[in-house]
Amino acid sequence: MAGSGALLRQCPLLLPQNREGTAYEGFVTAQGRDFHIRVLLPMDLQLKNARIECSWHLKKILHGYRHILKQRLQSCPDLASFMVELKTILEIALKNTQDLHIPRPPEYYSCLVRDLEILGWNKVAYVDTGLTTIKLKAEDSCGRQHLITLKLNAKYPTEPPDCLVDFPVQFAISWMPQNSLTDVYDQFLAALESLKEFWDAMDEIDGKTWVLEPENPTRSATTRRIAIGSNVSVTIEVDPRHPDMLPECYFLGADHAVNPLRIKLNNNMHLWDPEIGLLQNLKDLLEIDFPSRAVLEKSDFAKDCGICYAYRLDGATPDQVCDDPRCGQPFHQACLYEWLQGLPSSRQSFHVIFGECPYCNKVRKANENE
């Protein structure tokens, strides 16, 4: 998670409610108005599993933007980044809510219908009854389907529409009063092609390996947790602007299983070849073949937590593994922390607690802020 300083700068009225940093409450400010909000994070602080609670008034304003907010929760790296996105979306929503009460001049409708006819109705996926929200569909050169949502205000085309897309990078359009929806669409297509290599790399990983998380990745998601073996996986963070470069890699599993992989990665970094693709490079550097989707099932890697006997707990999967090679039992971080807390023999140092594995008695540690 980003430091509390970044969050304080972005949302000075949103304050932590507990020592663990899993609950925040206060106000988010947009267009000079304060809206009450509460953010609840799971014990592992994974933003994608956060719960957002707000007043009925704010809920009503953001109603049409729920799917966008869900995407942002999936893709934002920390709470401070998400709050920036939330404020931006809230600004757009407030502006559009105000615009609903501004009567559109006749030329607004004639101009908009003309633009849609020039663009082609076959590219329109949705138009609301007030002609203020339009969704356009596009297919990139690899046949992937994409949507762009346009929110038009009463001054269109003097002022540009607000554009919402499922991208891993910011999408901003260049606009002049004489521009039209065709210009927006052309810029959208150009942006799709600029992200082609990134999506090619992610699609290859999704198609040829067992991705444990996220379950249903959005086009904006830049991380993948890939199964390597039973209770061993690697999480990669890919730079969407440079998908042919070595991604950030984080290994999950018992020390005896992941330490050799870390050593191979460090020793073989110099072998990374931008010409041969992300997945093949990972195989070469780690000196492994990722388990094949054709031979094995996801259940071969998706082992249930040894404490709660479930695979998913509040959206989280088991990411703690006993280091004893003869044991290797996986646990949810929250389950393990709670288990160790209940042991009379456990000891705690700051946020780290030490105690015995429920299965083999080997000393384990759990961090409440992991």
Asked whether residue 264 carries a pLDDT value surpassing 70, the answer given is yes
177-213: per-residue pLDDT in tens?
Answer: 899 999 999 999 999 999 999 999 999 999 999 888 8
Residue indicated by tokens 């700068």? 9
Residues 6+ apart with CB under 8 A from 148: 135, 136, 138, 163, 164, 165, 184, 185, 188
- Burial level of 219, CB count in 10 A (0-12/13-18/19+)? buried
Cβ-based neighbours of 300, under 8 Å, separated by 6 or more: 230, 291
Q: According to the model, what pLDDT value does residue 51 have? A: 87
Residue 300: predicted pLDDT: 64
Fill in the amino acid letter for 120. Answer: G
Least confident of 24-33, 268-277, 341-350: 341-350
The residue ranking higher by pLDDT, 171 or 95, is 171
Q: What is the mean pLDDT of the chain?
A: 86
For 16, the token pair is 């932590």
Tell me the residue type at 142.
C
Taking 80 as the threshold, does the pLDDT of residue 333 lie above it? yes
* Residue in the structure block whose two tokens are 């290599």: 197
- What pLDDT was estimated at residue 18? 85
60 pLDDT above the threshold of 80: yes
Whole-structure pTM value: 0.66
Q: How many CB atoms lie within 10 A of CB 311?
A: 17
Percent of the chain with pLDDT over 90: 35
Burial label for 94, CB within 10 Å (0-12, 13-18, 19+), is: middle
Q: Which residues pair with 53 in a beta bridge?
A: 38
Question: Tell me, what's the pLDDT at 315?
Answer: 67
* pLDDT per residue as tens digits for the range 284-297: 999 999 987 766 66
Instruction: Tell me the Ramachandran region of residue 61: left when phi exceeds 0, alpha when psi lies from -120 to 50, beta otherwise.
Output: alpha
Residue 370 confidence class, pLDDT cut points 50, 70, 90: very low
Q: What is the band of 2 on the pLDDT scale with cuts at 50, 70, 90?
A: very low
Q: What's the pLDDT band for 148 if we cut at 50, 70, 90?
A: very high
Q: What pLDDT shows up at residue 297?
A: 66
What pLDDT, on a 0 to 100 scale, did the predictor assign at position 301?
66
> So what's the pLDDT on residue 190?
96
Q: 196 to each of 17, 193, 212, how far by Cα in Å? A: 42, 5, 23
Confidence bin at 12 (pLDDT 50/70/90): confident
For residues 228 and 234, is the Cβ–Cβ distance under 8 A?
Answer: yes
In whole angstroms, give the CA distance from residue 116 to residue 122: 10
Mean pLDDT lowest among 121-130, 160-169, 282-291, 296-305: 296-305
Q: Are 81 and 53 in contact (CB under 8 A)?
A: no
pLDDT for 288 equals: 92
Share of the chain above pLDDT 70, in %: 93
CB distance 318 to 325 below 8 Å: no
- How far, in Å, are 64, 99, 128 from residue 123 at the CA level? 21, 25, 15
If one compares 123 and 344, the residue with the highest pLDDT of the two is 123
Check whether 1 has a pLDDT greater than 60: no
